[in-house]
Structures are given as structure tokens and as C-alpha cells.
Structure 1
């Protein structure tokens, strides 16, 4: 393993980092309705998609939700996941300094190939992870015809 010399941060990099922190702290307040903006109610959960010869596997991180608040649909080659993370009861005595946990509705949609078994799609939800298993259909192999 090659050792790398650690360089001191440049002034411009430090300034950029400070500006990022400034705007990160500013934006959540400036988008609130009482400041003339509109609340950002849509969010998008992180997804991992993998594939092998038998199936597609989609894992979506949506912690803090109940499975009754998640809706999975398949129609016209498109797999759609819609849900809503409910807002917890708010304590009026608390002023939030920073709120990074998203609340509200989300929508994720995936276009699938034609070679899937749509009637065998499975969805399970455990420990805040939605797992979708999409089995692949048998591909039609060309049939060799002997010429007599």
C-alpha cells in the first residue's frame, strides 16, 4: 500500500465548504410556506438493483414506515412503488435547528424488460427495507429446423 502525503486544505476549498454549510443550513428555512416558499413534500428513497440469470432484485431503503403505507404496482412493463412516510406528532415547544429525515410522499418507477414473469413478482418489507424479486421468464431460444 502506497502512503500518501496529506496536504493542508487550500483556502478556496475551505471557503467552498463553509459556503456549502451556510446554504445547507439556510435552505430548509427559506423553503417553508411561512417564508413565501412551498414545502418540499416529495422525497426519493435510495435503491439498489441487481440482476442474475433468474431474476432482478430491487432493495429500497424506507425506514420508519409501515408496510400498509407502501403500494407496489406493475403495469405495462413498469414497476412502481408509491408510499408516504407520515409526520410524527409535533411538539410545539420545540424549534428544530435542522431536520434531515424526510417526511411525505415518494414515488419510484422502474421500466422492466418484456421477459419477466409479472404474475410472480414478490414484495417483502423487513427492518425498513423493501425487497422486490422480479423473476425472469424463460427466453425463447431459436429452434433449429433440419432441412431434408
Structure 2
């Protein structure tokens, strides 16, 4: 009878691969996405900064080289979804790429909101390649204490 060693959890190679993926994602301004219905690795997703204070959430995304008409911001079921497409530039047929690092194509980012927001007051602005989405929080109804007599 042959005995084999049973492993619980991921093996060393899988762990190393994930760590390397995280390392390289931190080095580039846009992270590669392996999600979104198993699309190819060629999709890109701009990084986002999300801040919160007592009145609102703010999402800031650097999306240089895009037109504001190519960006869509939607809210549904306590989820903000930002999609867009960066189109490739037309090059002369004689030009060959030596290296191409800029990303083109569609992107998709979705964020779940932890509490209710004022859907009608959400504002999105795009200036100098930066998308800013301001999401006001809804007023929280505080529980009322009733004195028992």
C-alpha cells in the first residue's frame, strides 16, 4: 500500500503565485483582473481611492486618456458600478510597437455600499483624467426610547 501525504490548503507554488500577483499589482497603476465572468487577462481596472466621513463616501479614480462620455456610473441595490472603455489610438501602418504598456479596452469596477445612501444626490465629475464620485449618506433613523408607564 502506498501512503501519500495529504495537504490542507493551497500548495507552496499557488501561494507564491498569488503573492507575486499581489506584488506586481501594487507596482502598476492599473491592476489586472481575473474576475468578471472569467474574461481574459487583457482587461484592466483603474485603481480607486475610497474615503468616508459622517456625511458621504467619495470614490476617486485615475483614468487618464479617456473622455467623460466613455465612462458610466450606475447605482443599484446598494452597489456602485463604474464602467468605461479606453479606445486605442490610430497609428500609421508603418509604426511597430517596441513596447506597449498602456492599457486599452473596457474596464469594470463595482463597490458595495455598507449603508443606505441618497441615490438622487449622487454626483460624478471628471476633470484632468480623474473621476470623482460623491455619494451622500442617507440619514440614519435612530431608535426611539419609549418610557413604560
The aligned runs of 1:1-148 (5 Å cut-off) are: 40-148=41-149
TM normalised by structure 2 equals 0.70
Structure whose CA Rg is larger = 1
Task: Please identify, of 138-147 and 124-133, the stretch whose mean Cα deviation from structure 2 is larger.
Answer: 138-147
**Residue 49 of structure 1: CA displacement?**
0.4
Aligned length: 110
Give the whole-Å Cα distance in 1 for the aligned partners of 2:128 and 2:109. 19
Q: Deviations over 1:81-131 (max 9, x none)?
A: 110001101222121111111111100011112321112111000000000
Q: Which runs of 4+ in 1 moved over 6 A?
A: none
Indicate the SS of the match to 1:44: strand
Which structure 1 residue ranges, 5 or more long, are not aligned?
Answer: 1-38
Does the aligned pair in 2 maintain the 1:83–1:107 contact within 8 Å? yes
TM normalised by structure 1 equals 0.70
Bigger helix fraction:
1
Give the whole-Å Cα distance in 1 for the aligned partners of 2:41 and 2:65. 19
Indicate the SS of the match to 2:46: coil
Across the aligned residues of Structure 1 and Structure 2, the Cα RMSD in angstroms comes to: 1.3
Does the aligned pair in 1 maintain the 2:62–2:129 contact within 8 Å? yes
**Residue 146 of structure 1: CA displacement?**
1.6
Q: Deviations over 1:43-84 (max 9, x none)?
A: 110110000000000001100000000011111111101100
**Residue 140 of structure 1: CA displacement?**
1.2
Does the aligned pair in 2 maintain the 1:41–1:105 contact within 8 Å? no
Which structure 2 residue ranges, 5 or more long, are not aligned?
Answer: 1-39
